[in-house]
Structure formats: structure tokens, C-alpha cells
A and B are shown apart, each in its own frame.
Chain A
Amino acid sequence: MVEPIRLHINGAVHSLRIESRVSLLDALREYLGLMGAKKGCNQGACGACTVLVDGERTLSCLALAVQYEGTEITTIEGLAENGTLHPMQAAFVEHDGFQCGYCTPGQICSAVGMVQEFRKGSASAVTNNVSAPVAELSDEEIKERMSGNLCRCGAYVGIREAIREAAEVTR
């Protein structure tokens, strides 16, 4: 029931001996000291624990770490390159996309994944016609696509502005 596992995180390989029941979130925070991803609700409702798995946004609290061997995991600590903030991080700073900052790592990882989904042509619940390509990442689309990330400070307006700008910059 204690499993030796290897996790690829932010470009490095980590060998761990953990119980099967350990979540990816707890593996990151309690075993590897990566405190960026936050434990909010621990039941998949708030999005504070969001990380990227093979580029796709994922809730690390509902993920069993053993199930993620062989994947490439990116946390908020792995987004900056050579000391330069990822454009999404820079945009959150620029547009005050936070107050207390607790939900922010999850918001940013989720936003990075979401913009990738949009670039690939993914539809959403507010896409009027799913059979046609989605033309624009409107405010309405951003709101719907980011509904899995809660901000109790209510910084949503800044978060939306930041995401729209970062989506433009990285186009």
C-alpha cells in the first residue's frame, strides 16, 4: 500500500514512497515542498489546487498521485522561464487579478490551460453553436470557462481583464 513512484514535475523527476491514498496535491505540498497549489475545499469545488497535467488543467485534490506517474506536471512554480514571469502571471499582476492571493496559483494555472483549450477550438456551455468554430474569447466565454475557480475576495473583474490581455499577448 506504500508505493514507490516517480513524478515528473516542472521538468524534474522526483522519486517518492507514498501511500496510494495520497492526493497529488498532498504529494506536492507535504512531500515535495511545492506550496504553490493550495488546498481550499479539498473536494473539487474551488479550483485552488489546479495544476497542469500534460498541459491540461487538473484538480490535484481529486487526483491520486499514483495515477499520475508518466505524466508531465506543471505547477505555478514551473510557469516562469529563466526568471521571467509567464505572460499570464504578469497580466494578473498588471490587472490586480487578486487580493489575498490564495486562489491565484489555481486561477493562473487554470487560465493557462483554458487559453490553450480555446486555441485548440474547444467549445463551452455558452458557445451558441457547438457545431461551428468558436470565434472569440469573449467575457461571457471567459466567465463560463473559468467557473471552476472561485475567488472569495471577488477579484473576478481583474482576473477577467488579465486573462483577456494574456490571451491576446500569447496569440
Chain B
Amino acid sequence: MKNFAYSRADSVAGAVGLLSQQANSKYLGGGTNLVDLMRENIEQPDVLIDVTRLSSGKIISGLTDGGLSIGAAVRNSAVANHALVRERYPLLSQAILFGASGQIRNMATTGGNLMQRTRCYYFYDEASRCNKRTPGAGCDAIGGFNRIHAILGASESCIATHPSDMCVALAALDATVQVQGNSGLRSIPMNDFHRLPGDTPQIETDLKPDELITAIYLPPLAFARNSRYRKVRDRASYAFALVSVAAALETEGGTIKNVRLALGGVAHKPWRAYTAEKAMAGAKATAETFHRAAGEELADARGRGHNDFKIELAKRTIVSVFSELAEAGGMR
């Protein structure tokens, strides 16, 4: 690993100032992804600014509107086990618990989870071509081993997926990401935070270079109490998703009143399934409806060979999760 200078920020403004003053600097959270990428020479910062000790980032607060604010430095395990998260947003708790291992969840921060990078093998392998590492170089995943790669929203530049479980739940919950930079504060809707690859796959988020994530805001969503996260993977535990489903459902007299759906492991960003939600709204809560909605959502999906199976797997997982939620009804 190339050496670097380390500094510890004592305020958000201080962190933004430090980053802006020093070229090739990066914010450091739990380090569970960044340290690994630095060891592989994929990331080579000259300066790391530790933002894990900012007291403002360590708080989870229930808001009067029934929503929740989660500080960016709160560890993943603390979010998953917070009483209000478990009660109001069980799918978020589940999504986090399905990710990584107990040790990593104790280290990883909320902000860092959003900023983690793809686990595409070709991105990690310096001997391969990768448009994320070297824009314009080409993509060896296309035509290569692409079992874990994207089936939705990919481009001829990049077919990598976003690896987070937590972010899939946040996408379903319509979370917003609070950020602060030199030009002040702003809120970015979760579903605009990560980008599709297009021809600039090296640009992964909507963040400006100096901006620091300070908190995640979860709006109130009463029917999220009937929600679920299902992750399909190659091992029973401690593996990234082939396909994952974050879903919430409210029914009334057998009819779908409210629905949320987001998919993981299928695209360059957490994939909010607006098409399927629209197809389900107002329809009967039956397997037939779920199947039709899943089919519409995946209509434009494209496999690249090894990952063709993901298209059918995504559909079946959607149908299975909604069938369970329908049985649980509006109550859990």
C-alpha cells in the first residue's frame, strides 16, 4: 500500500476544509472497503481524513414526523439493531444484517456503505481492462466471466453492479442523503444518489468532490412494518447478492393499497422498481399480479451470458417475497 497522510476531522466544516485544501484526499469511514482497495492499489489517496469521530455523525434520532435521521458515522450494526429501525423499517434492519459479517458490520459506517465500490473481479484486477479504473480502456467483464454482473441499466462501458444491501432498502424507503460541501448543505434523493454507468462508469454518485455525507433521512412509512429483504447468493451467509429484493406491501380487502420494491445485484445502482410498483398499485394481491409486475420490470433486462439466470431469478424472488407479504397482509 502506498503511504499517505492521516488526519482526524473534528467538525463537518473542518473535514470539508481539509479535503479541499489537499489534492488527492479522501474521507475515511470504517475503512472496510477503502483500505482493501488501497492495499490492491486500486485507490491511491495521498491524504485520508478520518470522519468517524464527528459527534454529529454518531446519532440516530426519531423525528416528530415519524421519520428517522441516521448519522453518517453510525456503524452498520448499530443501525440494524436500533429499536426504531427494527420497529419501523424492518427491511432496513434485515438488509444490513444480510450484508458482510458481524465484524465488518461493527466497523462499516452508514456513509461508507453508500460509497463502497463494485466487487466486479475485473475492477479489482489491475491486469484487466476496466473503464472505472482507466476511463476509455475497455471492459473485460463484457465477454468475460460475468455471472455476478448487471442485467438492468448497464452500458457497453460497464456492466458492474453496486454491492450494497443497505442501499437497496434505502432505495425502497425513498431515503434522502444529506450532504455538506463548500457550497453548503443539500439533500439528494437516494434514487438519484448512485448513477447508471453510461459512458462515464468512473463517476458513481451525484456527490461533488468536496461533499461529505452527513446523514440519511428516512421519511415516515407506516406500511414499512410489513416489509422484507430477501437475498439470494451463492453461500448461505457472508456473500454478495446475486439478486436481492427489498419490498413493502399494504393490502386492503385483498387489493394492493401501497407497495414498494427495489432490487439489488442487478444494476450499477440500487434498482427501484417503479414499473412493477405501478403495475401492482390497485391490483389484486395475487401471485398472478406479482408475476405480471415482475415481468414488466424485467422486460428490458439483458443477460451477458453467465448472468442470464438472474432475469428469471429476479422475477421468481419478487413473486415469492410479495406472496409472503400478502399473506402477512397489512399487519406483521
Interface size on B, residues (CB 8 A): 39
Beta-carbon contact of B102 and A62 below 8 Å: no
Task: Tell me the bound Cα distance from A130 to B80 in angstroms.
Answer: 9
Is the beta-carbon distance between B81 and A121 smaller than 8 angstroms?
yes
Q: Determine whether A3 belongs to the interface, using a CB cutoff of 8 Å to chain B.
A: yes
A56:B106 contact, CB within 8 angstroms: yes
Bound together, the chains give a CA A3 to CA B3 distance in angstroms of 12
In the assembled complex, the Cα of A107 lies from the Cα of B199 at a distance in Å of 45
A114 touches B102 (CB 8 A): yes
Identify B39's interface contact among A42, A120, A123, CB under 8 A. A42
Q: How many A-B residue pairs have CB under 8 A?
A: 114
Contact check, A59 vs B32: say whether CB atoms are below 8 A apart: yes
Is the pair B36, A58 in contact by a Cβ cutoff of 8 Å? no
Contacts of A72 in B (CB 8 A): none
User: Is the Cβ of B104 less than 8 Å from the Cβ of A44?
Assistant: yes
Q: Is A57 within 8 A of B102, CB to CB?
A: yes
Residues of A within 8 A of B236 (CB): 144, 147
Chain A interface main SS type: loop
Of the A-B pairs whose beta carbons lie under 8 Å apart in the complex, a sample of 23, sorted by A's number, is A1-B3, A1-B5, A19-B3, A20-B3, A20-B4, A20-B48, A21-B38, A56-B77, A59-B107, A62-B107, A63-B31, A63-B35, A64-B28, A64-B31, A67-B31, A117-B102, A125-B94, A130-B94, A144-B237, A147-B238, A148-B100, A148-B102, A148-B104
Choose one: A23, A42, A147; the contact of B237 (CB below 8 Å).
A147
Are B106 and A67 in touch, CB under 8 angstroms? no
CB distance from A165 to the nearest CB of B (A): 20
A66 and B6 contact, CB distance less than 8 A: yes
Give the CA-CA distance A146 to B101 in the complex, in Å. Answer: 8
Q: B21 at interface (Cβ–Cβ under 8 A)?
A: no
A44 interface neighbour in B1, B5, B36, B87, Cβ under 8 Å: B36
Q: Report A105-164 residues with CB < 8 Å from chain B CB.
A: 110, 113-114, 117, 120-125, 127, 129-131, 143-149
Hey, what's the 0/1 contact readout for A1-45 against B, CB within 8 Å counting as 1? 101000000000000000111010000000000000000001110
| A64 B6 Cβ-Cβ under 8 A | yes
Partner of A57, one of B6, B103, B237: B103
Known: A123-B93, A124-B97, A125-B98. A50 touches B103 (CB 8 A): yes
- Contacts A148-B101, A148-B102, A148-B103 hold; do A62 and B237 have CB atoms under 8 A apart? no
The residues of A that contact B295 with a CB separation of less than 8 Å are none
With contacts A3-B6, A43-B39, A148-B102 taken as known, whether A62 is within 8 angstroms of B32 at the C-beta atoms is yes
| B31 engages A21 (CB within 8 Å) | no
> In the bound complex, how far is the Cα of B308 from the Cα of A144, in angstroms?
29
4 new A-B contacts, CB < 8 A, other than A44-B36, A125-B231, A127-B97, are A58-B103, A62-B36, A146-B102, A147-B237
CB A64 to nearest CB in B, in angstroms, measures: 6
Complex CA distance for A63 and B4, rounded to whole angstroms: 15
Instruction: Check: A47 CB closer than 8 A to any chain B CB.
Output: yes
Tell which of B38, B48, B104, B332 touches A59, judged by Cβ atoms closer than 8 Å: B104
Query: In the bound complex, do residue A129 and residue B77 qualify as a contact, i.e. CB atoms below 8 Å apart?
Result: no
Contact A21 B106 (CB under 8 A): no
* The 9 nearest A-B residue pairs measured at CB: A148-B101, A147-B237, A20-B6, A147-B238, A125-B97, A130-B93, A56-B106, A21-B1, A125-B98
B269 touches A (CB below 8 Å)? no
A113 with B3: CB separation less than 8 A: no
Contacts of A59 in B (CB 8 A): 32, 103-104, 107
A110 to B106, CA, bound (A): 11
CB B324 to nearest CB in A, in angstroms, measures 12
| Residues of A close to B101: CB separation below 8 A | 47, 147-149
Cβ 8 A contact of A129, one of B98, B237, B238, B332: B332
Q: Which residue of A lies closest to B50 (CB)?
A: A67
Choose among B50, B87, B97, B103 the residue with the greatest number of A CB atoms under 10 Å from its CB: B103
| Nearest chain A residue, comparing its CB with the CB of B239 | A147
B86 at the interface (CB under 8 A from A): yes
B contact residues around A43 at 8 Å (CB): 36, 39
